[in-house]
């Protein structure tokens, strides 16, 4: 396992709040305790958030959850729901990888998720299992190309090479971070690193001592 203590200290030195809990259940309780009743909440699509039960709890709690996954929404309504993240009290997401240097690495296709992580939402809660911890950005890039992107592409039935190969096509030609397929379904468009934060404590990271999501 990566050096958990070092990661926690590095995230703190990058002015993010950090909490470590052992289980998904504890992560859910902690996340809910951070969000005052009545808060407007938006989330990115995240297997981790689904596995922890956090989104269901928010949907069923005393919060104003803006849900872009409701059936029968028009594309315009879905777009509006995604834009609502910029004015939300809380934006919830996981991360594709977290480094020992205290960086959050995320790759996005539509990119509403990375946009909201970077700016707009007053508070950001990032929930991540220890399987997301990596040593450095090189390992973060590799993690997305070998784990996160292929599994998400398969989950979302994206017609991309990685969904079939189990890894990014770029690895077959030793391509770098942004190298990849040239398909309209590509889920890797924007590559973001969150490091030292100007707005202290806006980003709250909950690290969970279990394997969660991709």
Contact call for residue 143 and ligand SF4 (CB under 6 A):
no
Q: How many other C-beta atoms are found inside a 10 Å radius of the C-beta of residue 57?
A: 16
Q: Encode burial over 90-120: b for 16+ CB neighbours within 10 A, e otherwise.
A: bbbbbbbbbbbbbbbbbbbbeebbbbbbeeb
Q: Exposed (0-12), middle (13-18) or buried (19+): which is 154, by Cβ within 10 Å? A: middle
Which residue number, 39 or 96, has a Cβ lying nearer to ligand SF4?
96
Contact call for residue 145 and ligand SF4 (CB under 6 A):
yes
Shortest CB 170 distance to ligand SF4, Å: 6
Which residue number, 135 or 186, has a Cβ lying nearer to ligand SF4?
186
Contact call for residue 140 and ligand SF4 (CB under 6 A):
no
Shortest CB 186 distance to ligand SF4, Å: 4
Q: Pick one of 41, 162, 203, 206: the residue that binds ligand SF4 (CB under 6 A).
A: 162
- Which candidate, 63, 41, 192, places its Cα nearest to that of 124? 41
Chain contacts with ligand SF4 (rule: CB under 6 A):
145, 149, 153, 160-162, 168-170, 180-181, 186-188
């Amino acid at each position: 396992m990566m050096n958990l203590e070092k990661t926690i200290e590095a995230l703190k030195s990058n002015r993010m709040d950090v909490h470590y809990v052992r289980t998904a259940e504890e992560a859910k309780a902690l996340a809910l305790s951070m969000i005052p009743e009545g808060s407007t909440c938006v989330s990115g699509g995240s297997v981790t958030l689904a596995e922890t039960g956090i989104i269901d709890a928010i949907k069923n709690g005393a919060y104003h959850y803006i849900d872009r996954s409701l059936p029968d929404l028009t594309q315009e309504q879905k777009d509006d729901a995604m834009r609502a993240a910029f004015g939300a009290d809380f934006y919830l997401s996981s991360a594709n990888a977290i480094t020992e240097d205290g960086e959050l690495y995320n790759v996005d296709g539509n990119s509403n998720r990375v946009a909201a992580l970077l700016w707009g939402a007053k508070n950001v809660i990032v929930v991540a299992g220890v399987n997301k911890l990596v040593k450095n950005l090189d390992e973060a890039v590799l993690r997305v190309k070998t784990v996160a992107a292929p599994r998400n592409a398969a989950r979302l039935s994206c017609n991309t090479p990685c969904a079939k190969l189990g890894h990014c096509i770029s690895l077959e030609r030793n391509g770098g971070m942004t190298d990849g397929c040239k398909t309209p379904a590509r889920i890797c468009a924007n590559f973001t690193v969150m490091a030292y934060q100007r707005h202290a404590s806006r980003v709250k990271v909950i690290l969970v001592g279990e394997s969660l999501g991709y």
